[in-house]
Chain A
């Protein structure tokens, strides 16, 4: 129960306790024997019931009950079916009385109900009892959603119910959450009275404002407010926000690197020594259904169907970024000829967001491909020089070739109606008094200003609040050190958004990389060092980058980097990357040749907390080359290396620097050399 002090356990005699434990052990072993021998007699069932009433957490026993029901169902006539299920419901009720937060018990009840033999009316009565005893118990709320769905209770009634519960005590995350779920549903199907999103949201803003003003220290209201901001800002329908190549661009292919050294173009790219050309589609949210029927690529050079691939770390079929690789080697391209390629997206249905909205704004991208010098296989022994990241090797870029970079990459973004901006504006005015004096207030102000900037037209830069937002997050880091990592992340995102938003802000970070001895190779490198970045963002504006320097930041994650398909040189040195799993996004970077991950924290954390969020061989989501791993591993401890193997196995690095990490001992380097046969330089030394 919430808000009630737990009563101290009554002192019990050692002997009484051990007798209890003995009894429970006996029950358990008898039950397991029954389970193994598939005994479903009345005595056996009573025994399992007794066990569950004493210990509702025994999941095996719930599963046994399910098997027993199925077994007995096949042998009973229709009259006794109902009583069979009633018996299960009764047992669940007793178990819940012992512990109403038992997952197993609630799940069993759902299972029984889903069989469709029991009365649902009783469930509402039971729920009302549970929810009166503890209005915040999320198990009960979960179950309520299940039951109301089953009995087809109207969303409007349920919405009213949440209003009542919130009215009693608004410190109730579960109730607010349920409200947001119901409202999303009502808005999506434009139910009567809910067809005007703005009207509904305005009422909700008003509603939650009362909670927040009454008690600004209570966070449940703020969380609902955050959801409202999100509803105000976001586009329900998926749409394309960025692509590479971008609309109207010209891509020049260079056989073996010979770039002109003049003004840098962000629109038109030059690729050197490449055999594949990626096409990247970047959406505003994760979508599925990108394939040759929903996205048409038209060009004379295409000979075969293209296979689109989602770029996601967890191998799901939905992703925000999708890529396709054109195999240039098969295309018989002619020198100095320009080929045009046209991509049309969304003219036929099938692109759907994860919450079920369809792609709303069909769009078209056309670009040109031009071959400058023929592709030649690199001659044996003629390898690229060691990449140095010294400041002396970089030279500032003076200007961009075109002056309207932002405008040119701008995809069709539906103009947001005025009320969104007005709503956010009004929220800022309303909260003026509260926002300055508590941490959640500052955070909300930062979020509101971010939302406002997002909604204001791109060209209207005078109204941007970046400086103010950054200042708020900096203050929050000091005010609330416990959550400083989160504030740092937000700070990083805003900063990156600012840097990438215009050519003026981007220019200072663009440099030519030109190593002293080589005269004809020159990359443009985006240098974002020393910016206190803890995560990456605004990738949609950085799809063109081939060389990226992120050194001397505080990166703990490089999520999002997987979309930067052109990346061939990456410097991640002097960051806080704590595990190989954090490097997961690199696995998608097929062009990556040079990687510097020196001076991070790889191997210094014994427990990798990110492992549960990311891919791992244990998660069964990856094809893990066990055979190869075992051969390479040899006598080394496998547990130490499998993560590194997972990352590097799919890369073709020529240059890797991994010094200054706890993991990088002699064994490890010799293992890495075996995993990466293409490697020419390791830790700044030629192999």
Chain B
């Protein structure tokens, strides 16, 4: 049976009318599915892939490679005749978000065999590096939505900042960490803690201890300079704690200058994350089995509330009203037509800007935007598999390479995340490292990623100094991902994975989109079921015990 035959034999979906049809099971789509079903909407959630998660999926090594290598899938279905239908059929084209994929494997036969045989033991994140702050919005949302019960987390053991001279330095992110730090001078310790206290007082609510409005609106970097913090501390605060993307001290290249108030918000989120969960030593959490667990948890939540799920089911046409051109429904690859008030597409879908051979096609206007979505830049992503940790005794850790730390014209930060076997994303004895950075073009992005990998690892084919004890990379991948924002129209589109470590911006965009679609509905209304009445919310997050 061919794939097409298999699809056409798929039993018809019943009912055929929905409030909302969603195509793609990425994180945003899944959250909206859960949120909309929580307020009683009828939803059909489709995914052309055989797995959940779309661009937020965690895949086996083999699937990961073939996913990145796959050419644009276009289901070439012949356009049905429109004469005997009330609708116009509009083509839907899926363009991969990822491009420029490049794989480097080591020469060792033994290692390649090992990887091939253990392919299924890997759960590689497509959108990595990703982690959650213990006190960030995602945690709150997981608790509020009830999705947390399907997930299990583990704390990231350590956070480092890379320094060309000193290697990996702990991020002094708490009072205890500053005390234990071996790289900061006594004076620097004193200054950093003083700054933390200044922020605490500002957040404390006592009016005379607040940072002035003027300072809050100024750039974070100039505020830090005004206080007189030395460069080392400034860099830690800007890039390792406030997670600044661009060189904050170079106005020409900085596309996103952090304001003091944003910097302070991020610092506050970071500090309140440290120690929120007794089993998480640092600020960051990671879901066991990988990032792909997050969208799945929301899908399960949606399914509980009545959302219908169909995987491996591409949409081949949009149905629009012949007269008004407005959206009416979709035709599935199985041939069935389904109708809904609204439609959400994951960001890989586009609609041809000039629908071909449609004489009275007034609908083209309304879909313009979806096809011409402006690309907000790119993010370069990389993955390495090693047999050794970049830091002995530490299995899971994050690393920040601040601008100019790798080479003088490095204008963006690179973030990396190493995850070990105890998070069930790779076979015992191996580690997976994710890297990402924002970039303007593929070459620039890959160059930066390779430099950051070379700083800590030995890539295949790269001559290493004999005394170097850097972990050897068994396999690595590089790819470039476009960044687009969400769009709200009759047909809405969710945002792509962004360049951040956590999901805060993505959640904000998702919540906004939900608000636009359902202005009168609450985004996950508080339920009053007895199971949710526990007084401290920490109980809701399931933490794996430290092993």
Binding site for B on A (CB under 8 A): 132, 167-170, 209-211, 213-216, 430, 433-434
Considering only CB atoms, which chain A residue lies closest to B278 in the complex? A132
- Cβ–Cβ < 8 Å partners of A434 in chain B: 190
Once the chains bind, are A216 and B176 in contact (CB under 8 Å)?
no
Taking the nearest CB of chain A, how far is it from the CB of B285, in angstroms? 19
* 0/1 string, B149-190, CB within 8 A of A gives 1: 000000000000000000000000001101111000011011
- Cβ–Cβ < 8 Å partners of A168 in chain B: 176
Once the chains bind, are B175 and A169 in contact (CB under 8 Å)?
yes
Considering only CB atoms, which chain B residue lies closest to A132 in the complex? B278
Most buried by B among A209, A215, A430, A433: A215
B106 within 8 A of A: no
Once the chains bind, are A215 and B186 in contact (CB under 8 Å)?
no
- Cβ–Cβ < 8 Å partners of B186 in chain A: 209-210, 213, 430
Given A167-B180, A169-B175, are A210 and B189 neighbors across the interface (CB < 8 Å)? yes
Q: How far is the CA of A417 from the CA of B357 in the complex (A)?
A: 100
Once the chains bind, are B193 and A215 in contact (CB under 8 Å)?
yes
Once the chains bind, are A169 and B189 in contact (CB under 8 Å)?
no
Which 8 A-B pairs give the minimum distances between C-beta atoms?
A213-B186, A213-B190, A214-B179, A214-B178, A213-B189, A214-B189, A214-B193, A170-B179
Q: How far is the CA of A210 from the CA of B178 in the complex (A)?
A: 8
Taking the nearest CB of chain A, how far is it from the CB of B303, in angstroms? 38
Once the chains bind, are B190 and A169 in contact (CB under 8 Å)?
no
20 further contact pairs, Cβ within 8 A, besides A210-B179, A215-B175: A167-B176, A168-B176, A169-B176, A170-B175, A170-B176, A170-B179, A209-B186, A210-B180, A210-B186, A211-B179, A213-B186, A213-B187, A213-B189, A214-B178, A214-B179, A215-B193, A216-B190, A430-B186, A433-B187, A433-B190
Once the chains bind, are A214 and B175 in contact (CB under 8 Å)?
yes
Q: How far is the CA of A209 from the CA of B193 in the complex (A)?
A: 14
Taking the nearest CB of chain A, how far is it from the CB of B533, in angstroms? 15
> Would you give 22 A-B contacts (Cβ < 8 Å), ordered by A?
A167-B176, A167-B179, A167-B180, A168-B176, A169-B175, A169-B176, A170-B175, A170-B176, A170-B179, A210-B179, A210-B180, A210-B181, A210-B186, A210-B189, A213-B186, A213-B187, A213-B190, A214-B175, A214-B179, A215-B175, A215-B193, A216-B190
- Say whether chain B's binding surface is mostly helix, strand, loop, or mixed: helix
- Cβ–Cβ < 8 Å partners of B176 in chain A: 167-170
* 0/1 string, B464-492, CB within 8 A of A gives 1: 00000000000000000000000000000
Taking the nearest CB of chain A, how far is it from the CB of B205, in angstroms? 15
Taking the nearest CB of chain B, how far is it from the CB of A176, in angstroms? 12
- Cβ–Cβ < 8 Å partners of A433 in chain B: 187, 190
Q: How far is the CA of A433 from the CA of B180 in the complex (A)?
A: 21
Q: How far is the CA of A168 from the CA of B281 in the complex (A)?
A: 10
Q: How far is the CA of A211 from the CA of B187 in the complex (A)?
A: 12
* 0/1 string, B246-283, CB within 8 A of A gives 1: 00000000000000000000000000000000100000
Q: How far is the CA of A167 from the CA of B187 in the complex (A)?
A: 19
Considering only CB atoms, which chain B residue lies closest to A216 in the complex? B190
Taking the nearest CB of chain A, how far is it from the CB of B67, in angstroms? 43
Question: Which of A132, A167, A170, A214 interacts with B190 by CB under 8 Å?
Answer: A214
Considering only CB atoms, which chain B residue lies closest to A221 in the complex? B179
Q: How far is the CA of A138 from the CA of B175 in the complex (A)?
A: 22
- Cβ–Cβ < 8 Å partners of B180 in chain A: 167, 210
- Cβ–Cβ < 8 Å partners of B181 in chain A: 210
Q: How far is the CA of A167 from the CA of B182 in the complex (A)?
A: 12
Q: How far is the CA of A169 from the CA of B186 in the complex (A)?
A: 17
Most buried by B among A167, A210, A216, A430: A210
Q: How far is the CA of A434 from the CA of B178 in the complex (A)?
A: 17
Taking the nearest CB of chain B, how far is it from the CB of A161, in angstroms? 16
- Cβ–Cβ < 8 Å partners of B179 in chain A: 167, 170, 210-211, 214
- Cβ–Cβ < 8 Å partners of A215 in chain B: 175, 193
Most buried by B among A167, A214, A216: A214
- Cβ–Cβ < 8 Å partners of A430 in chain B: 186
Q: How far is the CA of A215 from the CA of B175 in the complex (A)?
A: 8
Most buried by A among B178, B181, B186, B278: B186
Considering only CB atoms, which chain A residue lies closest to B535 in the complex? A7
Taking the nearest CB of chain A, how far is it from the CB of B438, in angstroms? 34
Considering only CB atoms, which chain A residue lies closest to B182 in the complex? A210
- Cβ–Cβ < 8 Å partners of B178 in chain A: 214
Taking the nearest CB of chain B, how far is it from the CB of A276, in angstroms? 59
Q: How far is the CA of A434 from the CA of B190 in the complex (A)?
A: 9
* 0/1 string, B38-76, CB within 8 A of A gives 1: 000000000000000000000000000000000000000
Q: How far is the CA of A209 from the CA of B179 in the complex (A)?
A: 9
Considering only CB atoms, which chain B residue lies closest to A206 in the complex? B186
- Cβ–Cβ < 8 Å partners of B190 in chain A: 213-214, 216, 433-434
Considering only CB atoms, which chain B residue lies closest to A209 in the complex? B186
Taking the nearest CB of chain A, how far is it from the CB of B358, in angstroms? 67
Q: How far is the CA of A169 from the CA of B175 in the complex (A)?
A: 8
Taking the nearest CB of chain B, how far is it from the CB of A525, in angstroms? 52
Taking the nearest CB of chain B, how far is it from the CB of A639, in angstroms? 50
* 0/1 string, B233-245, CB within 8 A of A gives 1: 0000000000000
- Cβ–Cβ < 8 Å partners of A209 in chain B: 186
Taking the nearest CB of chain B, how far is it from the CB of A319, in angstroms? 42
- Cβ–Cβ < 8 Å partners of A211 in chain B: 179
Taking the nearest CB of chain B, how far is it from the CB of A229, in angstroms? 18
Q: How far is the CA of A130 from the CA of B185 in the complex (A)?
A: 35
Q: How far is the CA of A375 from the CA of B178 in the complex (A)?
A: 74
Considering only CB atoms, which chain A residue lies closest to B192 in the complex? A214
- Cβ–Cβ < 8 Å partners of A214 in chain B: 175, 178-179, 189-190, 193
Considering only CB atoms, which chain A residue lies closest to B186 in the complex? A213
Q: How far is the CA of A16 from the CA of B183 in the complex (A)?
A: 59
- Cβ–Cβ < 8 Å partners of A169 in chain B: 175-176
- Cβ–Cβ < 8 Å partners of A213 in chain B: 186-187, 189-190
Q: How far is the CA of A215 from the CA of B278 in the complex (A)?
A: 23
Q: How far is the CA of A170 from the CA of B174 in the complex (A)?
A: 12
Taking the nearest CB of chain B, how far is it from the CB of A204, in angstroms? 14
- Cβ–Cβ < 8 Å partners of B278 in chain A: 132
Q: How far is the CA of A132 from the CA of B175 in the complex (A)?
A: 18
Taking the nearest CB of chain A, how far is it from the CB of B279, in angstroms? 11
Taking the nearest CB of chain B, how far is it from the CB of A202, in angstroms? 15
- Cβ–Cβ < 8 Å partners of B175 in chain A: 169-170, 214-215
Considering only CB atoms, which chain B residue lies closest to A215 in the complex? B193
Q: How far is the CA of A167 from the CA of B278 in the complex (A)?
A: 15
Most buried by A among B181, B187, B193: B193
Taking the nearest CB of chain B, how far is it from the CB of A123, in angstroms? 22
Considering only CB atoms, which chain B residue lies closest to A211 in the complex? B179
Taking the nearest CB of chain B, how far is it from the CB of A50, in angstroms? 28
Q: How far is the CA of A433 from the CA of B188 in the complex (A)?
A: 12
Q: How far is the CA of A184 from the CA of B180 in the complex (A)?
A: 24
Q: How far is the CA of A430 from the CA of B179 in the complex (A)?
A: 16
Q: How far is the CA of A628 from the CA of B175 in the complex (A)?
A: 64
- Cβ–Cβ < 8 Å partners of B193 in chain A: 214-215
- Cβ–Cβ < 8 Å partners of A132 in chain B: 278
- Cβ–Cβ < 8 Å partners of A210 in chain B: 179-181, 186, 189
Taking the nearest CB of chain A, how far is it from the CB of B232, in angstroms? 15
Most buried by A among B179, B181, B193, B278: B179
Taking the nearest CB of chain B, how far is it from the CB of A208, in angstroms? 10
Q: How far is the CA of A210 from the CA of B186 in the complex (A)?
A: 6
- Cβ–Cβ < 8 Å partners of A167 in chain B: 176, 179-180
Considering only CB atoms, which chain A residue lies closest to B178 in the complex? A214
